[in-house]
């Protein structure tokens, strides 16, 4: 896996915490406070060696948030169902939205809307895997692991910049 590194970055949508190697991003989380990052490390990376590299974190995040042509290699851990949902999210173009039901239908599990919502909520790559592009069937924003205000800011930015 390589030497895991981490850093913090003040994105246009709030403070985030990134875990990466020289080649791949493993987690990008919007944070309310540093305790959230410490909790993530304890719960998900406890057996791995991890060190802070703020300069590399800044470089990765600049690409993620400001270079729409950047290719970001990512690695995520999850169940096969979660990965199936996350792959479907990657198909949603910037500036567009889908409902939880549409995602469930697209993966062939039309009755698994709640499970789809749970998989979306477990996404470890905020912004990179665009879980913010999923809304409720009634058109309301719905929940967001990182807070409704963050979701609204991201969606607004995408709508304003869509081509």
Note the pLDDT tens digit of each residue in 10-38.
999 999 999 999 889 999 999 866 777 77
| Tens digit of each residue's pLDDT (9 = 90 or more) over 43-53 | 766 657 788 89
Q: Which two tokens stand for residue 47?
A: 């057996």
Q: Please pick, among 116, 131, 134, 155, the residue that the annotation labels catalytic.
A: 131
Query: At 50, phi and psi to the nearest 5?
Result: -140, 140
HEC assignment per residue over 29-79: EECCCHHHHHHHHHHHCCCCCEEECHHHHHHHHHHHHHCCCCCCCECCCCC
Which CATH architecture group holds 4-66? Answer: 2-Layer Sandwich (3.30)
Tell me whether the CATH fold assigned to 4-66 matches the one assigned to 80-161: no
- Beta bridge partners, 19, equal 6, 27
Confirm whether 131 is a catalytic residue.
Answer: yes
In this prediction, residue 157 carries a pLDDT of: 92
Structural domain boundaries in the chain:
4-66, 80-161
pTM score of the predicted model: 0.88
In this prediction, residue 4 carries a pLDDT of 87
Name the nearest CA neighbour of 128 among 33, 14, 3, 18: 18
Residue 162 has pLDDT above 80, yes or no: no
Architecture of domain 80-161: Orthogonal Bundle (1.10)
| Helix/strand/coil for 135 | strand
Q: Report whether pLDDT(163) > 60.
A: no
pLDDT at residue 105 in the model: 97
């Amino acid at each position: 896996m390589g030497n895991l590194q981490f850093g913090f970055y003040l994105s246009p949508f709030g403070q985030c915490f990134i875990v990466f190697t020289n080649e791949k991003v493993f987690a990008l989380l919007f944070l309310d406070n540093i305790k959230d990052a410490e909790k993530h490390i304890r719960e998900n990376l406890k057996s791995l060696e991890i060190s802070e590299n703020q300069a590399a974190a800044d470089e990765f995040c600049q690409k993620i948030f400001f270079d729409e042509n950047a290719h970001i290699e990512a690695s995520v851990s999850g169940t096969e169902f979660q990965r199936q949902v996350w792959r479907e999210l990657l198909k949603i173009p910037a500036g567009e939205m889908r409902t939880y039901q549409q995602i469930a239908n697209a993966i062939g599990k039309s009755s698994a809307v709640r499970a789809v919502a749970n998989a979306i909520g477990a996404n470890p790559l905020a912004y990179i895997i665009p879980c913010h592009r999923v809304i409720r069937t009634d058109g309301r924003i719905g929940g967001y692991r990182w807070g409704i205000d963050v979701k609204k800011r991201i969606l607004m930015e995408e709508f304003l910049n869509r081509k």
